[in-house]
Amino acid sequence: MALHRYERSWLDQATPAGMEIEHVYGGYHRSVFNNCSPRLISIYRKVGWLKFRVCNMTTGRFREFEVVLLFTAFIASTYGFGVYLFPAMVESIRTDIPFSYGTMGTISSLVQAGFLVSALAAGFLTLRFGALPLILASIVLCAAGLAGLALADNVVTIAACLLLLGGSAAAIWVPMVEVSRDLISRSHQGKALGLMSSGTSYGVFVNSFMLTWILPVHGWRSLWVVTAAFVAVLAAVALIRLRGAGSRNAGQVETPVMAKRLLRQRFSALPKGLTAAILLMMFLNGLSCMPYQTYLSAFLQGEAGYTADTAAYVWRIIGLVGMFSGFIIGALADRITVRRGMIVTYTILALSCLALTQSAGGLNAALVFFAAVTFGISFYAIFGLVPAYISHIFGPGDAALVFAFGNIALGFGGMVGNFAGGWLKEQSGSFAPIYMTMLAAAVLSAVLSALMPNEKAYALTAEPAYE
């Protein structure tokens, strides 16, 4: 594509520096060349706009593998310790600090509200301060929240700390799409975000050992001390290893044209149909995945006729499968495209819902275990593939903004699903209607994925011609 009528501004002379430059024109990303200055080289067109994004591809301390491991540990900490550890040992806490189950429900609602508000705010804060600074600040706050729980002596302090932890979880997860598109090569984003999304399962797995080995001997406060110390060390390592990495979106410096764009203009520039489809998909994710877990034990033991041991095995299978499924499905998506990976994953989720609806009677444990395996495969993979797709499609800043609103839709879908599950159970006397609703949501998500554009259409490699 020949470009004409442009102006060049050189902030440094072009020299071989092992850098990769991509330019964005009309929403398409094209590789241009690999030798340039570490500084910004930008070209502006009279009509429309053209921007170069400079990505540090050196083999120093910002290696992709290191980044992925650190961010997986962030997710394991904020979700595994910050979100799931409290309900796992709530009875021990209630022994020392009495509070009712109603209060526990109120606290859980506050944490969910904090997550949703933080998810929305994270999109705007990423635009203002950059993805990486927000993530590093959030992991520090996570350590502070865990330490606060170790010192808590009343339910108000507990609620405040859990609210902080819920907000930290969202503030780390939402900017991940920006970090992925800036610090991880496109060919590895599926498996990278898949591994990050499996971080929760690693945290829950560690929780199971702490609950067995530490809690009975040293009490519940000791678990908060251990997790706070671990996250504090993790935060210190991250601050050292990631200092300066991807400052302002991994080396991207906004052009004057981009800097003057108002937030309203940014919203209007988003592809409305595709953005709406992604938000609907994330709403359906919440509608299908959240109530699946909420009512799983109640369905298996109270309706389908299985024992508590069987239900425990189901949860164990989901956790163990989830430790590997995100990475494996992500690697597959990198080969067959993320869009096709989503189609496969939603189909597997639909099979899981269908298997549960056919497992009543307490005599078909194999079908229940099949449902557990397929849910473990799909659940963790979904939460890696959707942000991977967003990071491929949308440009700097826009990706975090879309994902922020997507997480609002996700939370709203979970709230609707949980409410509908309880209401349908009361009206029909069975959990089958809500699991059939989840099945329909999974099928609709697969159809949406099939209708969405292939993300490779946004990664053209044609090199432009210059005057």
Q: Is the pLDDT of residue 246 over 80?
A: no
Which of the four pLDDT bands, split at 50, 70 and 90, describes residue 127?
Answer: confident
Helix H or strand E encompassing 2: strand 2-3
Average pLDDT, the chain: 78
Q: Is the pLDDT of residue 315 over 60?
A: yes
Residues 191 and 267 in one domain: no
Give the pLDDT of residue 363: 77
Of 190, 216, 250, the residue that ends a domain is 250
Tracing tokens 């906004």 back to the chain, one arrives at: 254
Non-local (6+) Cβ contacts of 429 within 8 A are: none
Residues 333 and 212 in one domain: no
Determine the Cα–Cα distance for residues 444 and 349; give it in Å rounded to an integer. Answer: 11
Minimum mean pLDDT range among 217-226, 252-261, 342-351, 384-393: 252-261
Q: Is the pLDDT of residue 58 over 50?
A: no
In a domain, 40, yes or no: yes
Which of the four pLDDT bands, split at 50, 70 and 90, describes residue 349?
Answer: very high
Residues 71 and 28 in one domain: no
Residues 186 and 211 in one domain: yes
Residue 166 carries which side chain, given as an amino acid letter?
G
Q: Is the pLDDT of residue 1 over 50?
A: no
Instruction: Report yes or no: 65 and 327 within 8 Å, Cβ to Cβ.
Output: no
Residues 156 and 287 in one domain: no
pLDDT tens for each residue of 407-455: 889 888 888 888 888 888 888 888 899 999 999 999 999 999 999 998 8
In a domain, 421, yes or no: yes
The residue with greater pLDDT, 137 or 270, is: 137
Of 221, 250, 279, the residue that ends a domain is 250
In a domain, 6, yes or no: yes
Region 36-64: mean pLDDT is 40
Q: Is the pLDDT of residue 42 over 50?
A: no
Give the pLDDT of residue 199: 87
* Spatial CA neighbour of 208 closest among 320, 98, 295: 320
In a domain, 466, yes or no: no
Of 58, 87, 102, the residue that ends a domain is 58
Say which CATH number the domain at 283 has.
1.20.1250.20
Residues 223 and 130 in one domain: yes
Give the pLDDT of residue 244: 63
In a domain, 402, yes or no: yes
Region 258-285: mean pLDDT is 78
Percentage of residues in the chain having pLDDT higher than 90: 30
Q: Is the pLDDT of residue 24 over 90?
A: no
Residues 274 and 405 in one domain: yes
Helix, strand or coil for residue 397?
coil
Provide the CA 119 distance to its chain's centre, in angstroms.
Answer: 11
Residues 39 and 79 in one domain: no
Which range of residues forms the domain containing residue 160? 64-250
Determine the Cα–Cα distance for residues 2 and 4; give it in Å rounded to an integer. Answer: 7
Q: Is the pLDDT of residue 147 over 50?
A: yes
Give the pLDDT of residue 247: 44
In a domain, 75, yes or no: yes
Structure tokens at 95: 């022994």
Residues 127 and 226 in one domain: yes
Instruction: Report yes or no: 301 and 311 within 8 Å, Cβ to Cβ.
Output: yes
Determine the Cα–Cα distance for residues 50 and 45; give it in Å rounded to an integer. Answer: 6
In a domain, 440, yes or no: yes
Residues 147 and 289 in one domain: no
Instruction: Report yes or no: 173 and 408 within 8 Å, Cβ to Cβ.
Output: no
Q: Into how many domains does the chain fold?
A: 3
Q: What is the DSSP letter of 46?
A: S
Region 177-194: mean pLDDT is 78
Q: Is the pLDDT of residue 248 over 50?
A: no
Residues 52 and 158 in one domain: no
In a domain, 384, yes or no: yes
pLDDT tens for each residue of 367-423: 999 999 999 999 989 988 998 898 888 877 788 788 888 988 988 888 888 888 888
The residue with greater pLDDT, 182 or 371, is: 371
Q: Is the pLDDT of residue 348 over 90?
A: yes
Residues 331 and 379 in one domain: yes
